Amino acid sequence: MKKLSFVILGLALTSISFAQTTPKKVEEKELRHDIREKREENHEVAKDVTHLNLKKAKADHKDVVTEKKAMHRHAAQLKRRGVKHPVSRAKHQIHAQDEAKKYQ
């Protein structure tokens, strides 16, 4: 009886832990979105600096920093899951998606 209760408890804990984790594909997609958003924000900062809108550029740069933190957070999660070089893989996937859109 004691063994059965331990087995049931173990099964319950493992099922709960699996239910809380997100799949790798979802995390990779979030990382790709973070990289795209960071690129857009960097473009806005460069445009504002070019047009001498320094206050807006400074505010936009804060957004870039938050996007960069999110990107590194998602990359760390993927590294823990066993994905090697998640940021460079995501950048290659973005490039492949953009190239595929060009020729459609």
Whether 9 is in a domain gets the answer no
**Dist CA 61 CA 66 (whole Å):** 9
pLDDT of 31-67, one tens digit each? 999 999 999 999 999 999 999 999 999 999 999 999 9
Whether 82 is in a domain gets the answer yes
Q: Is the pLDDT of residue 91 over 80?
A: yes
Average pLDDT score, the chain: 88
45: containing domain: 22-102
Q: What percent of the chain has pLDDT over 70?
A: 94
Whether 83 is in a domain gets the answer yes
Whether 5 is in a domain gets the answer no
Q: Is the pLDDT of residue 87 over 80?
A: yes
Whether 36 is in a domain gets the answer yes
Give, in order, the Cα–Cα distances in Å from 15 to each of 8, 19, 25, 46.
Answer: 11, 6, 20, 48
Whether 33 is in a domain gets the answer yes
**Quick one: average pLDDT of 10-14?**
76
Q: Tokens 């690129």 map to which residue?
A: 39
Specify the number of domains making up the chain: 1
41: nearest Cα among 57, 55, 27:
57
Whether 72 is in a domain gets the answer yes
Whether 6 is in a domain gets the answer no
Q: Is the pLDDT of residue 104 over 90?
A: no
pTM as predicted: 0.72
pLDDT bin (cut points 50, 70, 90) of residue 24 is: confident
Q: Is the pLDDT of residue 70 over 80?
A: yes
